[in-house]
Chains A and B, each alone.
Chain A
Amino acid sequence: MEQFFKDPSIYTLVRGPLVWLSFILFIGGMLYRVSVILKMAKEEKVIYPYLSLKYALRSLLHWLIPYGSISMKKHPWFTFISFLFHICLLLTVLFAPGHIELWKESWGINLWALSAKLGDYLTLVVLACLFLLLLRRIFQRDVSFLTSPMDYLILALVSMPFLTGFLSHHELLFDYRLMLTIHMLSGEILLILIPFTKISHMFLFFLTRAHTGSEFGAVRHSRDY
């Protein structure tokens, strides 16, 4: 922040105020979306009375553990790729050396950091997974039938920060500072868009599973996994 006021530039803007803005919009947007949904669920009457903590957790557990559901066992490769993708993505976002500095600088938190090399590998894994997901989207008939331009856009949006992060780290394509600026900017755009696009599944997942898990377990006495 201070840096930006001392030396206003695109770089310091992206590094300072925009980080704050994007986090505020991400968290605020997420809270807003969830609160709207929870209010709608109350008006719908038949959601809350049937919620069961036990069966919501049972459901979440089975779908958060790799191959915890029959569906995952039936799609071994897709499950492998998507778990790999999500795990590497989270690790990179949270523990990349550059990010660790950011956490420290802005929040004063000292997190364990990935080594630069490992961070690199994970980034490449994420990109590779995204590429495989793209191929799947294009070539697998049932998935391509469901796909709309938005789905490609989301793949692109998610891949951007990883691609640019990798490029900036290796000072490829553009000079380091410019690339880093693009990297931060793309990350911020992604963060802001999460609550308002399908990527919001990262938190809506818990809501839908709680509902369906409770209905299946507590009401219908059967399994949803």
Chain B
Amino acid sequence: MITVDWQRGKKIVANVREWKEKFHQVYEPIPSPDGEKIAAVVEVDKGQCSVCINNKTWEQTFERISFPSFSTSGSFICLVLQNYEWTLAEEGKTLEETFDYAWNLKCHPKNNSIAFNIKKGDLYGVCLNGKAWDNLFFDARETFISPNGKTSASYVRVKNPPLLDIFSFKEGVWTLAVNGEAWPMSFLSVYGCTFSEGDKVAATVRLGQQEFSVVTDGKIWGETFLNAWEGVFVDDSTFAVPAKTEKGWSLIVNGKPEWKTFTQLWHPQVGPDKRIAAVVCTEFGKWTVAVNGEPWKITFSQAVLPPFFSANGKHIAALVREKDKWTVAIDGKAWEKGFERIWSPQFNPEGNHVIAKVEIANEYYLAIDGRIRAEKYERMWEPIFSPDGKKILLRYVKEGHYIREVLTLEELL
């Protein structure tokens, strides 16, 4: 969608320190994914908000601006409040339709569809690509966009019993609405909404105190479990969900336990080769990643975050925490050095190198394969690999200047 300049070199984009003098107040700066732009919500004057991108400020001002970000296509999007009405603003232009409230602004990373939750009168729903749902509900929480960009979903409340009417609430008041159409049944709770590549939609549902199940496209599984977390589509007709049986937690695929049991199991992820990796607790207080049911030999005592695959599917990595430091573990082997914080590590396309932004003593560095580069930054964003894996885009602030810099992988190794 956006063509990124991968020429090696450094470019000073804007002096963001000056913004502090120029505006009444400057919020947290946000760089564009290609690094060419730096933006921030600013208060031009007391109670007058606008957006400043590369030293240029939107003409219009608003009372409030929330959920600011760059869209997949590189435009700057946010939700804005003016005269008690909220709406979407993209590149300074607002939607015609306004809402009593708007929040949870999302942009799909592949198809650039934009959606957010809305409130109209006392009813709630979603607005996708400028069009609000026809059907609205007593509540709507979260926004999900399908891979084809044409479908949106939200957890909605379809019944409105009076407060404290626990028996009505116990019958279930929540369900998933897809494009404004609610599933026919309702639940104690519904979570883990996810789409398949073919736009099928599924979620985990709770039917009773210890009765959890899965609904795909409005059809509930016959099996129930003692507990269950968020699941994932393996393909359009296969759904995997971590669930608890009398023996412990296992990965349930289309209703049947496929993995041996663990003390805990969550965040299953599907790789390009359809292998499934998940976070598991092999025994109380010992965490690791299991791939197709086989846990790594190494375990971590504090935390393991959701694993992720390299683009070719050959390698799996996860952020892990041990002795109060974060580090990266790849294919069962952890980096030697730990850091105060690490931001979303990234594989190169071949999967043999991992880069990440790391923090040591309140300063930020680029780490590659566990080694840190000497250069440190006062502010820095996640580094990005070029599609061919040969270059790395850095976005950082040095001495008040926002800079985009492209380095070659070679010089970092």
Contact = CB atoms under 8 A, between A and B. Distances in A.
Asked whether the complex places CB atoms of A and B closer than 8 A, the reply is yes
Interface of A: 45-46, 49
Contacts of B400: none
B167 interface: no
B109 interface: no
Contacts of B283: 45
B55 interface: no
In the complex, the 4 A-B pairs of residues with the closest C-beta atoms, listed nearest first: A45-B284, A49-B285, A49-B284, A46-B284
6 contacts: A45-B263, A45-B283, A45-B284, A46-B284, A49-B284, A49-B285
A49 B263 CA distance: 14
Sort chain B's interface into a size bin: under 10
A46 B284 CA distance: 7
Contacts of A49: 284-285
Nearest to B301: A49
A94 B285 CA distance: 45
A82 B285 CA distance: 41
Nearest to A48: B284
Interface string B257-300: 00000010000000000000000000111000000000000000
A49 B281 CA distance: 14
Contacts of A46: 284
For the residues of B in contact with A, the DSSP-based class is: loop
B248 to A, nearest CB: 11
B285 to A, nearest CB: 5
Nearest to B283: A45
A58 to B, nearest CB: 23
A45 B285 CA distance: 9
Contacts of B285: 49
Contacts of A45: 263, 283-284
Pick from B283, B284, B285 the residue with the most CB of A within 10 Å.
B284
A46 B263 CA distance: 12
A184 B285 CA distance: 51
B265 to A, nearest CB: 15
Interface string B147-189: 0000000000000000000000000000000000000000000
Nearest to A44: B284
A158 to B, nearest CB: 40
Nearest to B286: A49
A48 to B, nearest CB: 8
A115 to B, nearest CB: 55
Nearest to B284: A45
A113 B263 CA distance: 55
Contacts of B263: 45
A108 to B, nearest CB: 46
Nearest to B285: A49
Contacts of B284: 45-46, 49
A49 B301 CA distance: 11
A45 B283 CA distance: 8
Nearest to A49: B285
A131 to B, nearest CB: 48
A92 B283 CA distance: 47
A39 to B, nearest CB: 15
A49 B284 CA distance: 8
A49 B285 CA distance: 8
A49 B286 CA distance: 11
A45 B263 CA distance: 9
Interface string B291-334: 00000000000000000000000000000000000000000000
Nearest to A47: B284
A46 B281 CA distance: 14
A224 B283 CA distance: 28
B383 to A, nearest CB: 38
A46 B285 CA distance: 9
A112 B15 CA distance: 91
Nearest to A45: B284
A154 B398 CA distance: 79
A94 B284 CA distance: 43
A157 to B, nearest CB: 40
A45 B249 CA distance: 15
A122 B283 CA distance: 51
A37 B285 CA distance: 21
A154 to B, nearest CB: 36
A88 B277 CA distance: 64
